Each structure stands twice: as structure tokens, then as C-alpha cells.
């Protein structure tokens, strides 16, 4: 029977984390919370009073640089990775309870994905799209490097499940306002562009070694402007087609948000590369 470690990275978000913990009682065996920067809102006391372990890390303005550290602190190999503004649906709760009561899956299953409905600030407006959110994985069957928007890479494969992970932030979870008005979006694009000048091994890694950049990022490194234009013109159509197949509805704002974001990353990287050439990290020499 597999034991689960619930691992959460937060910055403040005490009330949201309290909601998440209340919705996951009995679904995990170990709680690890990493705080991005100094804790000034009492997150530590909430975590420790809930039987968890709390770690404070230097401010990175994103959670991915903390993941390798957080997974290392986990007591168990199966990682339940949720954000503070998320919580499992009743169906996901039932599935997790069943998962913990049966023998764990062997390789090549590295983990599981779920549905992550769009949230308009008041209610979920989709039921089946978008899908592919990794919520549970075996840490010894994935690799990762700590850059914003990067996800764990499976040694085998992630099994897709028709389960809903509720994502209910205090604002809309999608849309152009997130790209234009949130300082975090500008900061993320700058961090991604700067990271792409190096190798993934220059970042905080988990079982990554000297692997090259995944194609989604290597395309930007090799042809930033062409890739920006391609994603800006093709990806919205793919998203709209996927929306219609899953929902028989179209969410134009959600379909264009990610392509515009990636086009801006390509433009940012192109500008940065003109003054700072890409750097390759030499592999370690044998001793």
C-alpha cells in the first residue's frame, strides 16, 4: 500500500493553505510545506499544528526552484503535489483513498494526471478541459529542473484520469489580465528567458543530470522569433479544437493566453540573447 507525501510550496497564502489542508484530511501520510521567502503570515504555525513539517527558503518568486528540495524532504516516494489554491474534488478524494489501500502501480507508470477546470473567479466554467495536470507521481520515476512552467518528466508515462482537481484562486485562473496586469507574469517571462541562456543543469534539478532542454524550450532557444510566431498562430487553433471536443464550447480567452505568453517569452529571449550569448554547462569530469 503506497504512502503519500503531500508537498506544497507557498508564498503567504495562509487561508488558501488552510482550505487545502482541510480538504485533504486522511488523504496523505506526510505533509511538507516550503515557504518562498520569509513567513510573515503564520504559515509555519498552521503547518506544524496540522502535523506537518515547515521549511523556509530564499525568495525565488516561483515555486519550481523549491521542488527538488521539497521532494527530498518528503518521507515517501509518492508525491501528492497540490498548490495552495487547489483542492481535490470528491471523486479525486475517493480515488486517492482507494489508491492508498491497494498495492502501488509498478513502472512504467510514473504518475497520474487529472482535469483542471477553468475558474472565472466565482465558479468553474469547464468540466473536461484543460486536462493533463500532474497531481501524483513517484519521485524516483521522474526527472525535473527548477524553472517556472516546467513539469516533471516521466521515466515511463503519466496515466490520464477523468478526475477533477478544483483550482479556485481569488481571481480568474486564465485570461489576458493574468498576462498584462500581474507582475508575476512579467517576472516569470524574464526568469524563463534568462534560464534558457544556460543548460537545465544550471538550475535546481531532480534526477536530471546532463539531459538537454526539452523540445518545447529548445525550439525557443534555436528559433525564438519563428517559434513565437508559430505558437501564436497555431496553438490557439489547437486549443479551440480541444475545447470543442471536450466541452462543445469555446473559451477564446483561455485559448489565446498561453500562446501569447510563449510568444512573449520567445521575444524576451531573442532580445536577451543579443546581449548575452547562450552558455553551455560542461559535464563533470571523471575523477
Indicate whether 154 and 191 sit together in one domain: no
Query: Does 111 map to a domain?
Result: yes
The more confidently predicted of residues 70 and 1 is 70
Query: Does 282 map to a domain?
Result: no
Q: What is the pLDDT of residue 277?
A: 61
Residue 224, SS3 per DSSP: helix
Question: Does residue 104 carry a pLDDT above 80?
Answer: yes
> Contact, 119 vs 168, CB < 8 A?
yes
Least confident of 143-147, 183-187, 260-264: 183-187
Query: Does 200 map to a domain?
Result: yes
Listed residues 135, 150, 167: the one ending a domain: 167
Indicate whether 9 and 150 sit together in one domain: yes
Question: What does the block give as the cell for 159?
Answer: 496515466
Question: What does the block give as the cell for 224?
Answer: 525564438
Domain that holds residue 19: 4-167
Give the pLDDT confidence of 5-37 residue by residue, as tens digits. 999 999 999 999 999 999 999 999 999 999 999
Question: Does residue 286 carry a pLDDT above 80?
Answer: no
Indicate whether 256 and 209 sit together in one domain: yes
> Contact, 131 vs 115, CB < 8 A?
yes
Give the pLDDT confidence of 227-280 residue by residue, as tens digits. 999 999 999 999 999 999 999 999 999 999 999 999 999 999 999 998 876 555
Query: Does 132 map to a domain?
Result: yes
Indicate whether 41 and 144 sit together in one domain: yes
Indicate whether 123 and 248 sit together in one domain: no
Q: What is the CATH number of the domain that holds 37?
A: 3.90.550.10
Indicate whether 36 and 157 sit together in one domain: yes
Query: Does 286 map to a domain?
Result: no
Indicate whether 82 and 196 sit together in one domain: no
pLDDT band per the 50, 70, 90 thresholds, residue 285: very low
Query: Does 285 map to a domain?
Result: no
Instruction: Please identify which residue in the block is written with the cell numbers 492508498.
Output: 100
- Please give the Cα distance from 231 to 239 (Å, whole number): 11
Listed residues 167, 197, 224: the one ending a domain: 167
Describe the crossing of helices 252-275 and 224-247 by its angle, rounded to 10 degrees: 160
Indicate whether 91 and 153 sit together in one domain: yes
Indicate whether 150 and 9 sit together in one domain: yes
Q: What is the pLDDT of residue 228?
A: 96
Query: Does 231 map to a domain?
Result: yes
* Total tally of structural domains belonging to the chain: 2
Give the pLDDT confidence of 47-97 residue by residue, as tens digits. 999 999 999 999 999 999 999 999 999 999 999 999 999 999 999 999 999
- Please give the Cα distance from 34 to 53 (Å, whole number): 9
Indicate whether 267 and 148 sit together in one domain: no
Query: Does 155 map to a domain?
Result: yes
Query: Facing residues of 31 across strands?
Result: 6
Residues with Cβ within 8 Å of residue 7, at least 6 apart in sequence: 32, 33, 34, 67, 70, 71, 74, 79, 80, 81
Listed residues 137, 167, 197: the one ending a domain: 167
Inter-CA distances, 207 with 7, 69, 134, 270, 277, Å? 18, 12, 18, 29, 27
Q: What is the pLDDT of residue 107?
A: 86
Alpha helices in the chain (DSSP H): 14-23, 43-49, 64-73, 90-101, 176-180, 183-195, 215-222, 224-247, 252-275
Indicate whether 153 and 245 sit together in one domain: no
**DSSP string of 103-125?**
PPPPTTEEEEEEE---B-SSSB-
Q: Name the residue among 127, 144, 164, 101 with its Cα closest to residue 246.
A: 127
> Contact, 200 vs 208, CB < 8 A?
yes
Could you tell me the sign of the dihedral formed by the alpha carbons of 160, 165, 169, 174, in that order?
positive
When pLDDT is averaged across residues 125-151 and rounded to a whole number, the result is: 97
When pLDDT is averaged across residues 129-147 and rounded to a whole number, the result is: 98
Describe the crossing of helices 215-222 and 252-275 by its angle, rounded to 10 degrees: 50
Q: What is the pTM of this model?
A: 0.92
Question: Does residue 287 carry a pLDDT above 50?
Answer: no
Indicate whether 193 and 125 sit together in one domain: no
Amino acid at each position: 500500500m503506497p504512502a503519500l507525501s503531500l508537498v506544497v510550496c507557498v508564498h503567504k497564502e495562509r487561508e488558501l493553505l488552510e482550505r487545502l489542508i482541510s480538504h485533504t484530511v486522511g488523504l496523505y501520510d506526510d505533509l511538507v510545506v516550503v515557504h518562498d521567502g520569509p513567513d510573515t503570515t503564520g504559515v509555519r504555525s498552521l503547518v506544524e499544528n496540522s502535523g506537518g513539517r515547515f521549511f523556509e527558503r530564499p525568495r525565488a518568486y516561483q515555486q519550481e526552484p523549491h521542488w527538488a528540495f521539497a521532494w527530498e524532504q518528503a518521507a515517501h516516494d509518492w508525491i501528492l503535489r497540490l498548490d495552495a489554491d487547489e483542492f481535490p474534488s470528491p471523486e479525486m478524494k475517493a480515488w486517492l483513498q482507494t489508491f492508498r489501500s491497494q498495492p502501488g502501480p509498478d513502472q512504467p507508470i510514473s504518475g497520474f494526471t487529472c482535469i483542471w477546470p477553468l475558474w472565472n473567479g466565482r465558479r468553474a466554467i469547464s468540466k473536461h478541459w484543460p486536462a493533463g495536470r500532474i497531481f501524483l507521481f513517484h519521485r524516483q520515476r521522474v526527472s525535473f529542473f527548477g524553472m517556472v512552467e516546467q513539469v516533471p518528466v516521466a521515466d515511463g508515462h503519466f496515466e490520464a484520469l477523468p478526475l477533477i482537481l478544483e483550482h479556485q484562486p481569488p481571481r480568474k485562473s486564465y485570461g489576458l489580465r493574468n498576462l498584462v496586469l500581474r507582475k508575476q507574469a512579467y517576472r516569470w517571462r524574464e526568469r524563463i528567458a534568462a534560464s534558457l541562456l544556460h543548460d537545465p543543469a544550471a538550475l535546481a534539478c531532480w534526477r536530471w543530470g546532463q539531459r538537454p532542454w526539452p523540445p518545447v524550450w529548445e525550439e525557443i532557444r534555436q528559433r525564438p522569433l519563428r517559434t513565437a510566431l508559430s505558437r501564436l498562430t497555431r496553438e490557439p487553433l489547437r486549443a479551440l479544437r480541444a475545447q470543442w471536443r471536450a466541452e462543445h464550447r469555446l473559451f477564446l480567452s483561455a485559448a489565446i493566453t498561453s500562446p501569447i505568453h510563449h510568444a512573449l517569452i520567445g521575444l524576451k529571449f531573442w532580445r536577451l540573447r543579443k546581449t548575452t550569448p547562450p552558455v553551455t554547462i560542461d559535464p563533470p569530469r571523471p575523477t
